[in-house]
A and B are shown apart, each in its own frame.
Chain A
Amino acid sequence: MLTFLLKRSWIMLLTALCLTAIVFFLTNIYPNLEKLAKTQGNMRMTDEQVERWLGDRGYLRPMVSRYGEWLGVMPGWTNTDEDGKFTGRCVNPDDTPETASRFCGVLQGDFGMSTVFKEEVGAIIVKKMGLTGMLMLWVMIVMIPMALIVGVLAGMKEGSRTDRSLSTFAITTTATPEYVSGVIFVVIFSSSMVGLKWFKGSAASAMNEITFENFTLPVMTIALYGMGYIARMTRASMAEVMTAQYIRTARLKGVSFPKIVLKHALRNALIAPFTVIMLQFPYLLTGVVIVETLFNYKGFGWTLVQAASNNDIEMLMGASIIAVIFVLVTQLISDIGYVYLNPRIRVS
């Protein structure tokens, strides 16, 4: 087990390094830097002005060393201009060459400054992750029980009418991406056309206080799309378990059907969905980005979109680290959990 974990951690580290390097490369190609300079400085800057703006802020040095600085394995750049003004990557406004720290990168816990939000990236991420965490939590609370119930009910008696209708429902939800269901929900539940006006079409107020009225639609939108897939996996796994020998034995012994389902089938049927639920997390991330944009909930996904459309390099790097760690850790948990739940499998 320990060697397995070590090997996995090594691969995870390598993956994270590669991915951040790719993001760094793509955000730092010259046309993107030019865009950054123009949005931060002035839209009508000439090419020379852009060059000077970028040069002054250390953007034009070799990409490898700048990636090293961002990681914190290479000393940050410093520069003293003609007036004796001392600037640099790790230099605060009142620092002198002696007091400024040499390294400031991810390894030192410094994620840099966001150019769009004018704040520390680390602080933004912590704040936004809190908001998105709340959304995810409610999505999980709604989605997992719903998916498991639908899946178990459908898989209990394969081919029955319940199975047919629940399976069709599950397929329909997987065919309805968030931007479709979100739009339909808003039209039905909060527009003046249908006139129900049960919920709010915007979740902006949910950032301060979550209420049933402003949070239902975003949560339902994400939960519905994610639900179908888990439900179908649960159904398949349940249907398979129901054909097993020990279920037949239990039936022949005269155990009642609800008891068979709850005591004999359920535990074995839930192994496969567990993995699926864990692997579903990364897909939820895309859903979160869409829903946060649609309902104007300014969490992590919304921040990612803002950062990406303004080429906010440090913010994007920070966000991608978080996203990548998130994906990799869920993969790891799903693998380990699978082993613990299923005694037939052992990792060597």
Chain B
Amino acid sequence: MEQLGAGGIIAGILTQFVPVWIGMVVIFAISIATKRKTGLYGRLFDSPVGMIGFGLVIFWVLTAIFADLIALYDPLEQISGMKNKKPGWPVEGQEGMYYLLGGDALARDVFSRMVYGSLTVLKIAPTATLFAFMVGVTLGLPAGYFTGRLDDGLSFLANLVLAFPVILLFYLLVTPEIRSTGIPVYLAAVLFLFPIVFLVVLMQTKFSTQPGKMWFWLSIVLVLGLWAYSGLAFNRDPFGVFSMDPNLLNIFVSVVFVNSPTVFRIVRGLTMDIKTRDYVAAAQTRGEGPWYIMLWEILPNARGPLIVDFCLRIGYTTILLGTLGFFGLGVSPESPDWGMTINEGRKLLSIHPHPALPPALALMSLVLGLNLLADGLREQSLKD
């Protein structure tokens, strides 16, 4: 069999991505058809920038979902004779099969590894960002609302973490040695409490006048929350549904830890600004409690900038995860995560550039998509 030319490679890749194309067409068709009814999300489709960004993001999300269909090989499968082969090289003994983007230094398929890499990134980055937001919001709201001592103390802590060079912090926090001391577990025990606290206070303040409803929702939140908490933070889930690999937990916790002070500062600033508005004064006059005002008056009115920052922050987290992988601190040495693959590929960069390029471009396009999406959202939310 012959090596594929550029046209053949592109055709091959486009064919492999067919599930993604179908998914994108369906999502775009539905979204555009209903765009007048879906609020901010619908208005996104009025701005070309937002649409391109959304398209890029949805492309990678669908790639992650359909990774098994798209990838031609297992990310860890090594086929002899395929080491460092050029893109479009036929696989020996398998009729009509190619390494579309070539083979890496361990004779694995670069294309399949790139596809599976999206799964690793999209599993960690959005969840870690969400957790960072929960921590930042839960601490930032009272700091901005009450100010005073509480604010001074929390701001000092936030600035302390922010003054740390990120890379040094990662080198100190993400190591097998640290894992054996249990520090990541303690950190997780603290950080993972915030989402539960946040949801409990949210429910409690909303339904404080209807005890029946309040206890119903509170019990759901507490049971589910503590169940997930026991599994994720301590790996002691009695039913074995929630669990996290210690290495993954270490990375996850560090990323949340690095991101939450920035979220804290944003939320604190927004709270200080919004707190002076009339509707807050009205709520205070009505005699609402401070937590009700923070969560149901201030937070919904801060959602615009927060949604935009959320998109940007997922992108930043993706870059951080890549950085971790680049320094060999990634999820696991074998995993196809993009940063790690770039790191492996760069060693032979000037002779065999093809293993490093696809993950690099993939990472860039995902982050670009998120940034454009944030830009489109900002533009549209300012039109109100």
* Nearest CB on A from B216, distance (A): 43
Whether a CB of chain B sits under 8 angstroms from the CB of A79 is no
Choice from A27, A171, A294, A319 contacting B372 with Cβ under 8 Å = A171
Cα distance A148–B227 in the bound complex, in angstroms: 52
B350: nearest chain-A partner, CB-CB: A191
State whether A177 touches B349 (Cβ < 8 A): no
Give chain B residues whose Cβ lies under 8 Å from the Cβ of A324: 163-165
Is A32 at the interface (CB under 8 A from chain B)? yes
Q: Which residue of B lies closest to A184 (CB)?
A: B360
Q: How far is the CA of A134 from the CA of B315 in the complex (A)?
A: 30
A84 to chain B, nearest CB (A): 36
* Given A177-B367, A293-B327, A308-B168, 13 new contacts (CB under 8 A): A29-B183, A30-B181, A31-B178, A31-B181, A175-B368, A177-B319, A183-B346, A201-B350, A285-B167, A286-B165, A286-B167, A304-B171, A327-B165
What residue in chain A is nearest B365 (Cβ atoms)? A175
CB neighbours of B171 from chain A (8 A): 304-305, 308-309
Please, which residues of chain B bring their CB within 8 A of the CB of A142?
none
Bits for B241-276, please: 1 = Cβ < 8 Å to A, else 0.
Answer: 000000000000000000000000000000000000
Residues of B contacting A179 in the complex (Cβ-Cβ under 8 angstroms) = 322-323, 326, 339, 342-343, 346, 360
User: Which of A11-19, A44-52, A68-76, A239-247 lines the interface with chain B?
Assistant: A11-19
Is B11's CB within 8 Å of the partner chain A?
no
Task: Tell me the chain A residues, 1-37 only, with Cβ under 8 Å from chain B.
Answer: 11, 14-15, 18-19, 23, 26-27, 29-32, 34-35
Is B375 interfacial (CB-CB < 8 Å)?
yes
In the assembled complex, A320 has its CB within 8 A of some CB on chain B: yes
Contacts of A26 in B (CB 8 A): 172-173, 178, 183
Name B177's contact: one of A11, A14, A31, A319 (CB within 8 Å). Answer: A31
Q: Confirm or deny: A146 has a beta carbon within 8 angstroms of a beta carbon on chain B.
A: no
Interface string of A164-192 (1 = CB under 8 A from B): 00001001101111011001101100111
Known: A29-B177, A31-B177, A32-B177. Is A180-B363 also a contact (CB below 8 A)? Answer: yes
CB distance from B267 to the nearest CB of A (A): 19
Contact assessment for B342 and A183 in the assembled complex, using a CB-CB cutoff below 8 Å:
yes
Looking at the complex, which of B18-26, B38-46, B278-286, B351-359 is the stretch in contact with chain A?
B351-359
Report chain B residues within 8 Å CB of A177. Answer: 319, 322-323, 363-364, 367
**Residues of chain A lying within 8 A (CB to CB) of residue B49:** 168
Bound-complex Cα distance A184 to B359 (A): 11
How far apart sit A29 and B166, CA to CA, in the bound complex (Å)? 20
* A172-B368 in contact given A11-B156, A183-B346, A186-B349 (Cβ < 8 Å): yes
Using CB atoms and an 8 Å cutoff, list the residues of chain A in contact with chain B: 11, 14-15, 18-19, 23, 26-27, 29-32, 34-35, 168, 171-172, 174-177, 179-180, 183-184, 186-187, 190-193, 201, 282, 285-286, 289-290, 293-294, 301, 304-305, 308-309, 311, 316, 319-320, 323-324, 327-328, 331
Chain B 144-189 residues near chain A, CB threshold 8 A: 156, 159-160, 162-168, 171-173, 175-178, 180-181, 183
Contacts of B118 in A (CB 8 A): none
B371 at the interface (CB under 8 A from A): yes
What 7 pairs across the A-B complex have the smallest Cβ distances? A308-B171, A31-B177, A175-B368, A175-B367, A187-B353, A180-B360, A26-B172
- Per DSSP, chain B at the interface is helix
- Chain B residues whose C-beta falls within 8 Å of the C-beta of A35 in the assembled complex: 177
B75: interface (CB < 8 Å)? no
* Residue of chain A at shortest CB distance from B180: A31
B345 touches A (CB below 8 Å): yes
Q: How far is the CA of A47 from the CA of B9 in the complex (A)?
A: 55
Size category of the B interface is 35 or more
In the assembled complex, how far is the CB of residue A230 from the closest CB belonging to chain B, in whole angstroms?
Answer: 15
Q: Which residues of B contact A201 (CB under 8 A)?
A: 349-350
A interface footprint on B61-88 (CB within 8 Å = 1, 0 otherwise):
0000000000000000000000000000
Contact: B349 with A286, CB < 8 Å? no
Which residues from A are CB-within-8-Å of B177?
29, 31-32, 34-35, 311
CA distance A30 to B178 in the complex (A): 9
Instruction: Known A26-B178, A177-B323, A201-B350; judge A323-B172 contact (CB<8 A).
Output: no
Are B168 and A192 within 8 A (Cβ)? no
A179-B322, A184-B360 are contacts. A15–B315 as well, Cβ < 8 Å? no
- B79-101 residues at the A interface, CB under 8 angstroms: none
Most buried by B among A11, A168, A180, A184: A180
Q: Are A174 and B168 in contact (CB under 8 A)?
A: no
Minimal Cβ-Cβ distance residue in A for B157: A18
0/1 interface trace, chain B 297-311, chain A, CB 8 Å (1 if under): 000000000000000
* Interface residues in B315-362 (C-beta closer than 8 Å to A): 315, 319, 322-323, 326-327, 339, 342-343, 345-346, 349-351, 353-354, 356-357, 360-361
| Distance in Å: Cβ of B251 to nearest Cβ of chain A | 16
Q: Are B357 and A187 in contact (CB-based, < 8 A)?
A: yes
User: Is B342 a contact of A23 with CB atoms below 8 Å?
Assistant: no
Contact between chains at A183 and B345 (CB < 8 Å): yes
* Contact A286–B372 (Cβ < 8 Å): no
Q: B323 touching A180 by the CB < 8 A rule? A: no
What are the residues of chain A within 8 A of B363 when measuring CB–CB? 177, 180
Find chain A residues with CB under 8 A from B160 CB.
15, 18-19
What are 26 A-B pairs with beta-carbon distances under 8 A? A11-B156, A14-B156, A15-B156, A15-B159, A29-B181, A30-B181, A31-B176, A171-B371, A171-B372, A174-B371, A176-B367, A177-B364, A179-B342, A180-B364, A183-B356, A184-B361, A186-B349, A187-B353, A187-B356, A201-B349, A285-B167, A290-B323, A290-B326, A293-B327, A319-B168, A323-B165
Chain B neighbourhood of A289, CB < 8 A: 165, 167
Instruction: Determine the distance from Cα of A308 to Cα of B327 in the docked complex, in whole angstroms.
Output: 11
CB atoms of B166 and A286 under 8 A apart: yes
